[in-house]
Structure 1
């Protein structure tokens, strides 16, 4: 489960202060699909980078699977991102020097799966999607 509680993100300060997000509350339960839509500059990218633990909010809490990622250490946050947080990007974010199978296997290997098992799982996933 993902929970955002009174999430605020402000850029700059004083006369140049910009409020990207103000008091956002959101709960996403397991199995739910979420699409974030809105005009340019409405805070979509800010919301996603915060929810994914790639940036920190000015205030508020972000809880992923019961872990408050606003206070989690770097290692715990990295492990949580590998296991529990995913995005579907509009553009490809692959490592060009790797094959498709290697790109799919890499997160599994980073999470401690053996190279052989990661490759087997990657090939199965690629076969499933065609």
Structure 2
């Protein structure tokens, strides 16, 4: 299933700080930690702990969040279905990067080992 321009635009306008608490809740409910969540975000984006905190405080949109990120070259190894979309078939880079993050958070919450999540 391919994304629509409206779907891509909706993701671009989402504020990272509004989604972040849901990520934290999801992983903590399954026995993982906020620190592990940050490790996953740092691996994908290249952001430091301070960068992540600043992005939350500045209430940046996903568009800006990923525009300034240095996406890990191994992110292309993230495959599968998330939110009804097959990641490897998504054409819009921003939507694909957002789904990468969703998939990593999902894997963390499901108890996958960190070295597998980080494609190590």
TM-score range, shorter chain: under 0.3
Structure (1/2) with the larger helix percentage: 2
TM-score (norm 2): 0.26
Structure showing greater radius of gyration is: 1
TM-score (norm 1): 0.25
